[in-house]
Amino acid sequence: MALLKQSTARNRMIFMVDETDHVSGLAGLTLTITASKNGAAFGSISPTVTDRGDGWYNLALTTSHTDTLGDLALHITSTGADPTDALDEVVVDLPGAEFATVIADSVASVGSRPTIAQALLMLTRFELTRRRVSGSVMSAYKEDGLTASMTFDLDDPSAPTDYDRAT
């Protein structure tokens, strides 16, 4: 299950499997897609579908596909393939968005990247996202919820701030 930000376009990868062996991916299919928003009845949707090969397809969900909070259930079918289902959750904001806004505001107010101290003083909430044997790291994530945009080594205050590389 993925988290999708409300009324935001998002690419969604799905895998289509051959109905004869139930294992092999099938390329070159024409997909029929239905969706249920927040438990409502399923209805046909037509996102742009791109065959990525080996049975993988990209569904380009639009803002109209992600406009309703709650579960977004997708049911995908095609001749010669097993049906595929995907369940995502549409949310008001993605985790870390508040932190990213605070950092952006801090950058605007100081005219450059904030120091670790400035960023921490402006936070209303932060989470320790990973613990290493040698210490702790705090990370802020981009809107996808997976890519670290900023990390702080909490055990080495003299260490430089790493803004663009996930650890």
Q: Are residues 41 and 19 in the same domain?
A: yes
Question: Is 165 inside a domain boundary?
Answer: no
Taking only the tens place, the pLDDT of each residue in 68-104 is 999 999 999 999 999 999 999 999 887 766 555 555 6
Rounded distance between C-alpha atoms, residue 91 and residue 10, angstroms: 13
Contact by Cβ (8 Å): 25, 16: yes
Q: Are residues 48 and 114 in the same domain?
A: no
Ramachandran sector of residue 31 (left: φ over 0; alpha: ψ -120 to 50; beta: rest): beta
Rounded distance between C-alpha atoms, residue 132 and residue 127, angstroms: 15
Question: Is 42 inside a domain boundary?
Answer: yes
Q: Are residues 76 and 7 in the same domain?
A: yes
The pLDDT, as a whole number, for residue 16 is 97
Question: Is 50 inside a domain boundary?
Answer: yes
Question: Is 162 inside a domain boundary?
Answer: no
Rounded distance between C-alpha atoms, residue 92 and residue 3, angstroms: 10
Q: Are residues 126 and 63 in the same domain?
A: no
Q: Are residues 64 and 131 in the same domain?
A: no
Q: Are residues 72 and 101 in the same domain?
A: no
The pLDDT, as a whole number, for residue 156 is 61
State the DSSP H helix or E strand holding residue 116, giving kind and residue range, or none if neither: helix 116-122
Per-run averaged pLDDT (10 residues), the chain, 167 residues:
91 96 97 98 98 97 97 97 96 71 56 56 44 54 59 59 44
Domain count for the chain, please give it.
Answer: 2
The pLDDT, as a whole number, for residue 89 is 93
Q: Which two tokens stand for residue 113?
A: 């990247």
Q: Are residues 86 and 102 in the same domain?
A: no
Question: Is 76 inside a domain boundary?
Answer: yes
Residue with tokens 């079918």, as numbered in its chain? 77
Q: Which residues pair with 137 in a beta bridge?
A: 130, 153
Residue type, 23: V
Q: Are residues 8 and 86 in the same domain?
A: yes
The pLDDT, as a whole number, for residue 105 is 59
Q: Are residues 65 and 50 in the same domain?
A: yes
State which residues form the domain around 101: 97-153
Contact by Cβ (8 Å): 159, 150: no
The pLDDT, as a whole number, for residue 141 is 57
* pTM (global) more than 0.95: no
Question: Is 166 inside a domain boundary?
Answer: no
Q: Are residues 27 and 85 in the same domain?
A: yes
Contact by Cβ (8 Å): 142, 100: yes
Question: Is 62 inside a domain boundary?
Answer: yes
